[in-house]
Amino acid sequence: MSRENVEVIRLANEAWNRGEVEAMFGFYAHDAEVETDPRFIDGGTFQGLPAIRRWLEGLRDSWERGAAVVTGEIIDLGDDRVLSLGEWSGTGEASGVQTSIPLAGVWTLKAGKITRVRWFFDHQEALEAVGLRE
């Protein structure tokens, strides 16, 4: 299932980047959970698709034409977990300032559906969280 899990994450990120939020949610389990890096604007822990949807819609509205997740690498961790390393890139709606910051996600999947995502703004922290670095 590992190659399939990597593909799910790739396809979900591509759907987000195209602005196809409904298609992206097709990859999530109904009871999924998202935990953001504590530094994420309006972040926190969101349980269930309705809560995740509200958070992501607010987030998308903060950026001109949304924002993109640029994924540099997707790593199968085994045990139905995947690590994505990349960056968040966009232009602020109010400020007009272009920004790009590191972004890493630790994804848990079950039966081909995303059940949990934990976001990090620091690749090193993400690597440490999954036991790839000390």
Cβ neighbours for 64, distance < 8 A, ≥ 6 positions apart: 90, 91, 92, 93, 96
Which pTM was predicted? 0.88
> For all residues of the chain together, what is the average pLDDT?
88
User: What is the C-alpha to C-alpha distance for residues 111 and 66, in angstroms, rounded to an integer?
Assistant: 29
Name the CA dihedral angle for 35, 3, 12, 106, rounded to a multiple of 10 degrees: 10
Residue 37, C-beta contacts closer than 8 angstroms, at least 6 positions apart: 43, 119, 120, 121, 122
**CATH class of the structural domain 2-125:** alpha beta
Please give the pLDDT value at position 108: 98
81-130 residue pLDDT tens? 999 999 887 766 677 777 788 999 999 999 999 999 999 999 999 999 99
In this structure, what token pair is assigned to residue 18? 């195209």
Please say whether the beta carbons of 52 and 32 come within 8 A.
Answer: yes
130 backbone dihedrals φ, ψ, rounded to 5°: -100, 5
What are the residue ranges spanned by the domains of the chain?
2-125
